[in-house]
C-alpha cells in the first residue's frame, strides 16, 4: 500500500525522494508562488504565450510536473496534473494537493469548506483578490486528472 501511495505522489510530483511528511516542498511550489503573485497584481499577461483555440493562451510559466498549463483571458491560470488511472486515484490526489497548496502558499490561504465538495475544493486568500479551485476531471483520453484553476477576482 505504501508503495502505491508513493507511486501516486511521484506521478504528481508530490513526494520528495525520502517521501512522507517533513519532505521538501513540491517541485511546483516556487512556480505556483510566482503565478499567484502575478495574479494578485493583475499581471498574468506577463506569462502569456502563443494563442490557443478560443480565449486560451499557452503560458511561459507552467507548474513543474503538471501538464497543459494555460491562461484563459486576463484573469485565469489553469493546469492539469499528470493523468491518473481512476476517479478514486484523482480524489486521493486532490486531498493531498489541497494540503500541499495551502502549505506552499502559506499564511492567508485556506480551504473554503462552505464552497467545497469531495471532488471540488475552493482555496481562498484572505489578503489578496486571488482564489483557486482544485477539482477532479476526466480528460479526453478517459484518464483522470486534478485540475488547478487560479483566478483573480474583483472585490
Q: So where are the chain's domains?
A: 27-152
Q: How confident is the model at residue 140 (pLDDT cuts 50, 70, 90)?
A: confident
pLDDT for the residue 153: 79
Higher pLDDT, 12 or 113: 113
Q: Enter the pTM of the model.
A: 0.83
Q: Calculate mean pLDDT across residues 69-79.
A: 95
Report the phi/psi class of residue 52: left, alpha or beta, with left for phi > 0 and alpha for psi in -120 to 50.
beta
Helix (H) or strand (E) holding 8: helix 2-12
d(CA 14, CA 148): 14
Q: How confident is the model at residue 155 (pLDDT cuts 50, 70, 90)?
A: low
d(CA 35, CA 56): 16
d(CA 53, CA 29): 28
Amino acid at each position: 500500500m505504501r508503495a502505491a501511495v508513493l507511486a501516486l505522489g511521484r506521478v504528481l510530483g508530490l513526494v520528495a525522494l525520502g517521501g512522507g511528511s517533513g519532505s521538501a516542498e513540491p517541485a511546483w511550489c516556487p512556480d505556483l508562488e510566482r503565478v499567484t503573485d502575478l495574479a494578485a497584481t493583475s499581471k498574468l499577461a506577463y506569462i502569456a504565450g502563443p494563442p490557443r483555440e478560443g480565449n486560451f493562451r499557452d503560458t511561459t510559466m507552467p507548474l513543474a510536473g503538471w501538464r497543459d498549463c494555460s491562461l484563459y483571458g486576463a484573469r485565469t491560470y489553469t493546469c492539469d496534473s499528470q493523468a491518473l488511472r481512476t476517479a478514486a486515484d484523482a480524489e486521493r490526489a486532490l486531498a493531498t494537493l489541497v494540503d500541499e497548496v495551502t502549505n506552499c502558499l502559506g499564511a492567508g490561504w485556506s480551504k473554503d469548506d462552505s464552497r467545497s465538495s469531495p471532488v471540488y475544493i475552493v482555496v481562498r486568500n484572505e489578503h489578496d483578490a486571488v482564489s483557486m479551485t482544485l477539482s477532479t476531471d476526466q480528460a479526453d483520453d478517459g484518464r483522470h486528472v486534478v485540475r488547478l484553476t487560479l483566478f483573480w477576482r474583483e472585490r
